[in-house]
Structures are given as C-alpha cells and as structure tokens.
Amino acid sequence: MLKETSPAGPARRFWAARRIPAALLAAAILAGTGLLLYDVAAVRAEHTAMAWRRSVADGLATEPLDNAWVLTGAALSVLLGVWLLVLAATPGLRAVLPMRRDHADVRAGLDREVAEMTLRDRAMEVSGVQSVRVRTGRRKAAVRAVSHFRELDAVRTDLETVLADGIHELGLARPPALAVRVSRPRRKG
C-alpha cells in the first residue's frame, strides 16, 4: 500500500503540550534532589544528617521488605512511573484528526466531533433518511442510518456516494474507511 504524501511532507498527529504537569513534576524533583544534595554536602562537611534522612534510613534498614506499607509504597511508585512514561510516549490530542498539508508552513487539524457533524448533515440530505448517527475514528467512519421509505439498498448506495465525497472534502491526511449500516425504524408498541 502506497502512502499518500503531499509536497509539504507527511501530516503527523498532534501532541498535547502537557506543560503544567511537566512543570510541577520538574519542580518537585528539583526540590527533592536539592534538599538531598544539601544534606549529603552537609554530611561530607562533617555535620550531622538531617533528622528526616536519619529516620528514613533507620526505617528502611529495620523494616522487612515484605511489609504491607513497603509493598504499597513500591507499587504506587511503579504505577506513578508507568503513568508518567505513558503520558510522555502518547499523543494527547486524539480528538484532532490531521489534515492534508498543502503548504509546508501550514499544519491543520479537524476535530472529530466537527467531522461527525459534517458527515451527519451530509447524510441527512439523502432522500429517505430519517436519522443518522456517525462515529469517526482515525481509521473508520461508522454511519448508522434509519430510513423510513425507499429501498434500503438504494439509500445505502446514495449514502455511500455522498459520504465518500464528504470524507474526501474534509481534507484529512488519512481518510477513514467508510462503514454504512441502514435499517428501518423500530415499530412502536
């Protein structure tokens, strides 16, 4: 399968800045390491260690490793570390679909809800469609329509044609595959 690239280069996904969590984490690490470095330098200068450091060292030396508090602290530390790694390695703006890049200086994205609303409005223009639900993902646009008259196959064909044009006109870098389901309305009573 050949990848479609525009003259401006490939369109990549958007990443969240995450500046506030990164700043808070950096400030906490800086404060903790600064305090520990100060205490180590004081001990090297032949002063006594701070009381908190002595109590932590004594507690770690005397506490068995299979204690519930030690295991809970270790588990929380591991979960926090895994969570921070996941945040660092994954894009955070999953609701923004990248659009084709026609110019090297311009990078655009389309919100999934806007794409869904646009496709829903297009589908409602098809004759015989009573209601439509659209779910747009990175790879697939799932459309569920209810038709109250006309043949279901004719409505499905018209929907596929109209929505394929609509997906192309959205200008997405990787247009999602289209999946259309058409049904009759449920009978009341």
Q: Give 23-75 pLDDT, tens digit per residue.
A: 788 888 899 999 989 988 988 898 888 888 888 888 878 888 888 888 898 89
In the predicted structure, residue 14 carries a pLDDT above the cut 80: no
Candidates 84, 78, 81, 109; CA nearest to 96 is 109
In the predicted structure, residue 80 carries a pLDDT above the cut 60: yes
In the predicted structure, residue 89 carries a pLDDT above the cut 80: no
Chain centroid to CA 6 = 25
Q: Which of 7-16, 39-48, 147-156, 170-179 has the lowest mean pLDDT?
A: 7-16
Q: Which of 61-70, 108-117, 159-168 has the lowest mean pLDDT?
A: 61-70
In the predicted structure, residue 126 carries a pLDDT above the cut 80: yes
Which tokens hold the place of 130? 């009573």
pLDDT of residue 90: 74
Interacting residues of 123 by C-beta distance below 8 A, sequence separation 6+: 129, 132, 134, 143, 145, 159, 162, 163
Are 122 and 159 in contact by the 8 Å Cβ rule? The answer is no
pLDDT of residue 81: 84
Is 46 in a helix, a strand, or coil?
Answer: coil
